[in-house]
Amino acid sequence: MTAAPLTTVVVPTLGRPSLDALLRALAEGTRPLDVPVLLVDDRREPTDDLPYNDHGLDVRVLRAGGGGPARARNVGWRLARTEWVSFLDDDVVPDPDWYERLLADLSGPGPAVGGIQGNLRVPLPPGRRPTDWERCTAGLETSQWITADLTYRRGVLAAVGGFDERFRRAYREDADLGLRVTGRGRAITPGSRWVSHPVRPAGDWVSVRLQAGNADDALMRRLHGPGWRTRAGVPRGRRPRHLATTAAAGAAVMAALAGRRRTAGAAAAAWLAGTTELALARIAPGPRDRAEVRRMALTSLVIPFAASWHAARGLLRHRRAEPWQGVPELVLFDRDGTLVHDVPYNDEPGRVRPVPGAQEALDRLRRAGVRVGLVTNQSGVARGLIAPERLEAVNRRVAELLGPFDSVQVCTHAPAEGCACRKPEPGMVEAACRALGVDVGRCVVVGDIGADMEAALAAGARGVLVPNGRTRPEETAAAPHVSPDVGAAVDRLLSGAW
């Protein structure tokens, strides 16, 4: 009998040519890669041109819709069903023994270990000093918790909600996750495997574009406090100097408009001094060729303003940001009145009609890697109104129209029997979570009456009420969350608000 794979490899990609080198390195290693590889295509308009068919790997392609690397990684790990999830960026090249060393890394960690960090090297051109962009890329070698090669326990990712999708660029999402994982008392330990990270080609203005990360720093401070850089091993950076340089430029303009020449001159001199200091600091460690010096001089004029703008934008945008909890691991739906129109004691498969939007809502959850299930009271069996085989036929029809479902829980008892499974009792919710290995705290129940919400609460899950004609006003008033329809409920869950 073949052993279950220990890990799943998840690779977010924008379809760069480097992806082929990554997959080829995995396929041609000293030990064949025999675990699933999930390629998460994060292009806004994906095409079928990813080079994954020529390497003999077990590859599946997923779509993330251009939401950024955090969302792409979340789509990948949620669909993984292995104990560990190994993240690789699409521009790294694993060493020939990478998979062997990965298995060795995963062979001994105790339960306190939540993640194992791979090692990264950045090859630089020999015989000359590195450019500013090359030095920036080389800084990845000493970055803490860098997800270019990092393996996490899937259960740990589920417990913290995965990557925070408010980080839309590859900048701080890995540090944020590392802080949340270690804040839960789980260690992230160094591994023995290595990947190379070649320096990608970049335009002259890449250093200016990178200043957008200052908005992410504002979110980090909001979520983790002013000491987050020390805990995450992130250098302080030059933001205070950028702010001072920008302020000097603004003061010079304002003073000149007010006719205060001496003040304008002093402020302009301060701006020039700050800009010159930045340019010299960037030129000094690099090559002295004309193109690099020109690039550093021009971008140093713009960087303080870009950094200040993005910092202010981040402070405004994230001023009320709450801790990330991710999307649920499992969403359990009531059947009648929630997913299909309610036909009392229905025993005819032909009378099953999905409510508008149910199919699309369920499919969106599945594409995001969220498991879905049914929890339905069917006392008509105990009352003698529905034959068991007819109930099974109706449920099969529901699955044909809206499935597949990861769990189907049915209570056939009458209310007077006092069972532990009939909603509002928690039995079916607990059974579904137990069968799928999901922490009940990462489960949401969507239903149309108060009994659905009470079952969720009794189990320790969350509830979302979708009222209809039979929902009593007091049930709506008491519900923890209310959505007008199933589609809106799923919108809420996928946004992390649950």
**Residues carrying an active site annotation:** 334, 336
HSE (CB half, 13 Å, CA atoms) of 323? 9
- CB contact at 8 A, 293 and 237: no
Instruction: Calculate the CA dihedral of residues 133, 137, 139, 144 and round it to 10 degrees.
Output: 150
Q: Whose structure tokens read 């899937």? A: 154
Q: Whose structure tokens read 């995965």? A: 162
Instruction: Calculate the CA dihedral of residues 494, 470, 341, 364 and round it to 10 degrees.
Output: 0
From residue 462, give the alpha-carbon distance in Å to each of 130, 162, 302, 449, 492: 53, 18, 48, 14, 12
Q: Which residues contact 76 (CB under 8 A, 6 or more apart)?
A: 8, 10, 11, 12, 38, 40, 62, 85, 87, 369
Beta 187-196 vs 93-94: how paired, if at all?
antiparallel
Tokens matching residue 65:
């819709």
Q: How far apart are CA 281 and CA 27, in angstroms?
A: 43
- Coil, helix or strand for 256? helix
- Nearest Cα residue to 338 out of 488, 455, 447, 195: 447
> What would the DSSP string read from start to end of 436-496?
HT--GGGEEEEESSHHHHHHHHHHT-EEEE---TT--HHHHHH-S-B-SSHHHHHHHHHTT
N-to-C CA span, the chain: 41
> Residue-wise over 415-432: b if at least 16 C-beta within 10 A, else e?
eeeeeebbbebbbbbbbb
Residue 201 carries which DSSP code? P
Tokens matching residue 222:
């909001």
Tokens matching residue 179:
């802080």
Q: Whose structure tokens read 């940001």? A: 321
